[in-house]
Structure 1
């Protein structure tokens, strides 16, 4: 006879279960915006830290999606299966191919056209990326850094392209950082160094180095995605 020990569920686990119920039963349908953190905590009867952690769990599972400056939305009625994750790797691969081309040119132009104000903003954004405490904050900080690179390129068409593409970038980036098989150990350190090299190349006005740093970052992620699809 195998008897499993009884476990007391934490408040976070209880909050996760309730959020899954609300999403899974359609009370909060796909596309619905969640209440803000204060209101959500009140509805769940828990502290803000607990509700925040519960939301992060559902974001990592692909059921919720956070949009900077807008809020958190329902993305799927149930946790993303391993099969769906494989599909999303393919989608992320497509997005990162376009991203690599767009941002390599943005980095090259930014190195030629940046101002002192641009460089200061880039260094602030890089520090925020380095200091990000969780996956959601990391993705948003990373996107903000790359948005500032595009802005420093001083090309309004490139800026519009990036802005129109940002939701797809966010979704792909959230998938990449949530996949435990991608960006582990030394890979993370290499990519972090590439981001520092990009900012310094732009600051130094070196377009070739900026392009190389962008490729060192995004091509490595593309290689990982391709390897996972093979």
Structure 2
């Protein structure tokens, strides 16, 4: 017999599906105040608690803005969960193309904007990932994701940083597919070190070149 938690989760999921469908169909205009929780509960045929939980999730994803004492307003129509589903099914080449767009642009900005703290955090992340590179692939990938997020963060563009957080799981999966379980080439890891050196020297062109080489899994020229 299913637990109460599973039943509640299922009801919330159903409420979310119905609300997202209405948002996608344009039932409410951007900036429009949404019906109250009691009104939505009656319309959807569910409890107010279920509506409240669904609205919290929509607020977390940015589709809805909850204004205390005033109600909920529609903020957007593009659901980030749809983007995540699309990213999970992308090919290796699609992942590479997207990484080039995000990471190469980010590293060029980072070469201009990086701080001493950014460099210190990048070198610390490198130290952690380097300790696992030739040994534990999963632990290396987890540490490498921290390095790449720090790299994008060094561009000091909050939108780029948030976009990369959504995309990082696709990057992690692509690494699992291109890195051998054993005998990983040292020159691939060395590209990370050279990228940080280029950032420290504020050498924008070299940093971009090294980043492209890393993404394409080839030596830099």
Q: What range describes the TM-score normalised by the shorter chain of this pair?
A: 0.5 to 0.7
Aligned residues: 129
After superposition, the C-alpha distances for 1:101-158 in whole angstroms (9 at most, x for unaligned) are 2111111111110111100000011111111140101111111111000000001111
Q: What does 1:209-220 correspond to in 2, within 5 Å?
A: 209-220=206-217
Q: Please give the alpha-carbon distance, in whole angstroms, between the structure 1 residues aligned to 2:118 and 2:217.
A: 26
Q: Secondary structure at the match of 1:220?
A: coil
Q: Please give the alpha-carbon distance, in whole angstroms, between the structure 2 residues aligned to 1:145 and 1:213.
A: 15
Q: What does 1:217-228 correspond to in 2, within 5 Å?
A: 217-220=214-217
Which one has the largest radius of gyration? 2
Q: How far 1:179 moved relative to its partner?
A: 6.2
After superposition, the C-alpha distances for 1:148-172 in whole angstroms (9 at most, x for unaligned) are 0000000111112101111212222
Q: Please give the alpha-carbon distance, in whole angstroms, between the structure 1 residues aligned to 2:187 and 2:94.
A: 22
Q: Please give the alpha-carbon distance, in whole angstroms, between the structure 2 residues aligned to 1:111 and 1:203.
A: 7
Q: Which position in structure 1 is the counterpart of 2:44?
A: none
Q: Which position in structure 2 is the counterpart of 1:175?
A: 177
Contact in 1 for aligned 2:108/2:208 (Cα 8 Å): yes
Q: Which position in structure 1 is the counterpart of 2:62?
A: none
Q: How far 1:174 moved relative to its partner?
A: 2.0
- The alignment status of 1:144 with 2:146, answered yes or no, reads yes
Unpaired runs of at least 5, structure 1: 1-87, 222-230
Q: Which position in structure 2 is the counterpart of 1:208?
A: 205
Q: Please give the alpha-carbon distance, in whole angstroms, between the structure 2 residues aligned to 1:191 and 1:165.
A: 21
Q: Which position in structure 2 is the counterpart of 1:104?
A: 104
Q: Secondary structure at the match of 2:91?
A: helix
Unpaired runs of at least 5, structure 2: 1-87
Q: Please give the alpha-carbon distance, in whole angstroms, between the structure 2 residues aligned to 1:135 and 1:189.
A: 14
Q: Please give the alpha-carbon distance, in whole angstroms, between the structure 2 residues aligned to 1:166 and 1:215.
A: 17
Q: Please give the alpha-carbon distance, in whole angstroms, between the structure 2 residues aligned to 1:203 and 1:189.
A: 22
Q: Which runs of 4+ in 1 moved over 6 A?
A: none
Q: How far 1:215 moved relative to its partner?
A: 1.2
* Alignment partner of 1:166 out of 125, 149, 168: 168
Contact in 1 for aligned 2:137/2:181 (Cα 8 Å): no
After superposition, the C-alpha distances for 1:76-114 in whole angstroms (9 at most, x for unaligned) are xxxxxxxxxxxx9x8222212211221111111111101
Q: Please give the alpha-carbon distance, in whole angstroms, between the structure 2 residues aligned to 1:156 and 1:142.
A: 20
After TM superposition, the score normalised by the length of structure 1 is: 0.52
